[in-house]
Structure 1
Amino acid sequence: MRWDGLFADLEAQWERQLHAQTLAEAAELTRGEWAGLPLAARLRGARGRPLRLLLRHGHQCELTVQAVGEGWIGGRTPGGDSVLVRQAAITAVDGPLAAAVTAEGHLGGGPTLGSVLRRVARSRAAVEVVGLDGAVVVEGTVDRVGADHIDVARHARDDARRASSVRGVLVVPLEAVALVRTAGHAL
């Protein structure tokens, strides 16, 4: 009978070691998986949640995440505006990024900023383009989207685009853009 107790004790020790080894391997695999995740995957995992994005030169943008694409994040601000933020303009993210969603099934990491801005151009929504320094670069309507720039017809953001209200066209390199905001329109 003493052997039975010894064998039970040895088996329990073996089970504990096996469990500890399994936990260690799982932790290592988890670290390895997280090491390969881009920020966009974590931003996708926050879809439907509010985040505070810290942008270059200390500016901030609060939004509820609606979409994440290749190099950008889009959502709604607490004031109801729609906003697109270039990922390159983000210096830090304050909010729940514990989950991650990879872009499986998409070509690359989803739609590009250019393709989303082409949709904005087709909608004729008035926008505010904010530069990397936090200053408003231009208000108006996106007329055309090139490979690395946008043409914005300059007019007041609360006016519709009419020939009489347009004060010229400003060409803005996408590299200079931190965010694009529309008043109450979905991007």
Structure 2
Amino acid sequence: MRWDGLFADLEAQLAQGHWQDTEAEAAEMTRGERSAIALVDRLRGAVGTPLALQLADGQRLELSLSTVGSTWIGGTDRSGGLVVNLAAVAAVDSPLAVVAQEPSPGRRRLGIGSLYRQLSRARVALVVTGRDGRLLGEGTIDRVGLDHLDLAVHPRDEQRRGRSVRGLRVIPFDAVHLVRSAQASSV
């Protein structure tokens, strides 16, 4: 009997088994790491690139992604500036190959209310669309609460002036899926 050959064969089998175990552990670790990646981090990695979105109401958007918040994304399309509530996104038809986590804990916590407050300060005329794709209102944001905004309703092509305001509409954040700049919008 060739003992040397037997031992060499056993060593080769053990080495192969060890390598297979190592490969299985690496695959499991990769799956575990991927399970900790949030959609906003993948979207943040796509800032500056074209993005195709399918919204829950069936609308398809193609935009250039500019910024990513904790619950929203912002960018531009052919009609101008827009903000999309992530809850309204049914699918992303873009690869999202790069992951970029937000390093600032403060910025990670900035919700859509922060963005609405900024739009309010800038007195930007907006078109606000709801989850079902219907128009919720057009006008200028007057106030922003914890979970809602007050929209001074006026024609999109007019500045917010006392005589042009036709009413005030209180809109919960959860009801909004898309906010567009009114200047170029044709909702």
Shorter-chain TM range is: 0.7 to 0.9
SS class of match (2:115)? helix
What letter is aligned with 2:30? T
TM-score (norm 1): 0.83
1:100 Cα offset (Å): 1.1
Quote the residue 2:108 is aligned against: 109
1:85 aligns with 2:90: no
Quote the residue 1:27 is aligned against: 27
Quote the residue 2:75 is aligned against: 75
**In 2, Cα distance between equivalents of 1:89 and 1:117:** 17
Quote the residue 1:3 is aligned against: none
**In 1, Cα distance between equivalents of 2:29 and 2:114:** 36
What letter is aligned with 1:45? G
SS class of match (1:130)? strand
Q: 157-166 or 19-28, which moves further after superposition? A: 19-28
**In 1, Cα distance between equivalents of 2:109 and 2:50:** 21
SS class of match (1:120)? helix
1:51 Cα offset (Å): 1.2
Q: Do the aligned partners of 2:153 and 2:168 also contact (CA within 8 Å) in 1?
A: yes
**In 2, Cα distance between equivalents of 1:16 and 1:81:** 59
Q: 1:153 to 1:23 in 2, by over 3 A?
A: same
SS class of match (1:76)? strand
Q: Do the aligned partners of 1:141 and 1:152 also contact (CA within 8 Å) in 2?
A: yes
Quote the residue 1:133 is aligned against: 132
Calculate percent identity across the aligned residue pairs.
46
1:44 aligns with 2:52: no
Q: Which runs of 4+ in 1 moved over 3 A?
A: 11-27
**In 2, Cα distance between equivalents of 1:90 and 1:24:** 34
**In 1, Cα distance between equivalents of 2:182 and 2:154:** 14
What letter is aligned with 1:115? S
Q: Do the aligned partners of 2:125 and 2:183 also contact (CA within 8 Å) in 1?
A: no
SS class of match (1:122)? helix
Q: 1:172 to 1:98 in 2, by over 3 A?
A: same
Q: Do the aligned partners of 1:53 and 1:92 also contact (CA within 8 Å) in 2?
A: yes
**In 2, Cα distance between equivalents of 1:159 and 1:25:** 62
Q: Give deviations 1:70-98, integer Å, cap 9, x for gaps.
A: 11111111x15111111111111111211
1:109 Cα offset (Å): 2.4
Quote the residue 1:63 is aligned against: 63
Q: 1:110 to 1:80 in 2, by over 3 A?
A: farther
**In 2, Cα distance between equivalents of 1:80 and 1:21:** 54
Quote the residue 1:122 is aligned against: 121
Q: Do the aligned partners of 1:46 and 1:65 also contact (CA within 8 Å) in 2?
A: yes
**In 1, Cα distance between equivalents of 2:70 and 2:109:** 5
Q: Do the aligned partners of 2:156 and 2:183 also contact (CA within 8 Å) in 1?
A: no
**In 1, Cα distance between equivalents of 2:111 and 2:82:** 15
**In 2, Cα distance between equivalents of 1:110 and 1:45:** 18
**In 2, Cα distance between equivalents of 1:16 and 1:100:** 34
TM-score (norm 2): 0.83
Cα RMSD of the aligned pairs, angstroms, is 2.9
**In 1, Cα distance between equivalents of 2:106 and 2:54:** 28
